[in-house]
Amino acid sequence: MHGKERAIIPVLERSVGVRCNFAAHLNTDAFGTFTGEIPRVLSPLEAARRKCELCHLETGADLVLASEGSFGPHPIVGFFPVDQELLLVKDFRNETEIHVSHISGATNFASAEIKDESALNDFLLNCGFPSHGVIVRMNHEHETKFLKDIADREIFRKLLNEKGSLHLETDMRAFRNPTRMTVIQQTAELLAERMKSLCPSCSVPGFGVNYAVPGLHCSSCGSETRSILKNVLGCISCSYTEEHYYPKGKKTEDPMYCDICNP
């Protein structure tokens, strides 16, 4: 519903050699909205699966892609906000699925209670308005309403003067957030690579990193850091796995990233 196909389809058509049709009429907002009018109760992977199933039922297509984004503090490091994008391809004919997820610190994700014009100007500037959308959350007694798709900063100024304070949040819908669109495109590149990677044992496509194991040793004190020691690669169909040590090419970690040397 939010134009993500513009970031995904060209990558897959170029890189994987598939021809994509876009299911424009599906109401994927039914699985939850960022602003919470419809709560997001499913995990991103489960929500993407439901979207694929809906598309499969409605269109009869047997190779279906869906995407899910989520925003919040970095899942391991915390502190700073990240954009976590997930892409899932479900093959209904062979009953397999391939998914990739990509975490990027490149996001404008933010919200703030604005009380004066200088704070308003700062928020709009930091969010990249007007190329990036900004939403006003209006809390009424019994319901919450959202003003979306505001194109003119004068409207924010008028509302602020009227109400005395405004709750603003960044619009994370892809078509109002070019920064997110770029992260979705990067995720599509990762998916394309994975779709082209065949299992060395059974040749089914989708071989790739299943999970990463932290514990790269510090070059100074030798203790385990939170950096990745090895990736465990797996097949989506058979039980074949491989362990790839030192994925960044370094056998030790800089003491700067060591919790003992640099607490």
Binding site residues, Zn ion, CB under 5 A: 199, 201-202, 218, 220-221, 235, 237-238, 240, 255, 258, 260-261
Q: Considering all CA atoms of the chain, what is the largest pairwise distance in Å, rounded to the nearest integer?
A: 67
- Give the CA dihedral 22, 172, 212, 46, nearest 10 degrees: -60
The Cα 35–Cα 42 span in angstroms is 15
Least Å distance, CB 259 to Zn ion, is 8
Least Å distance, CB 229 to Zn ion, is 15
202 with 234: CB under 8 angstroms? no
SS3 content of the chain, % helix, strand, coil (to 5): 30, 30, 40
Least Å distance, CB 260 to Zn ion, is 4
Nearer to Zn ion, 126 or 203 (CB): 203
Least Å distance, CB 97 to Zn ion, is 14
The Cα 129–Cα 148 span in angstroms is 13
Least Å distance, CB 33 to Zn ion, is 38
The angle at the Cα of 203, spanning 93 to 12, to the nearest 5 degrees, equals 65
Nearer to Zn ion, 164 or 263 (CB): 263
The Cα 129–Cα 92 span in angstroms is 41
- Beta partners for residue 170, in sequence order: 134
Least Å distance, CB 258 to Zn ion, is 3
Nearer to Zn ion, 106 or 260 (CB): 260
Nearer to Zn ion, 171 or 253 (CB): 253
Nearer to Zn ion, 201 or 231 (CB): 201
Least Å distance, CB 86 to Zn ion, is 22
In order of 34, 149, 215, 240, 246, the CA distances from 210 in angstroms are 28, 39, 17, 12, 15
Say which residue the tokens 């933010």 belong to.
Answer: 110
Nearer to Zn ion, 104 or 223 (CB): 223
Element (H, E) at 234: strand 228-234
Nearer to Zn ion, 104 or 220 (CB): 220
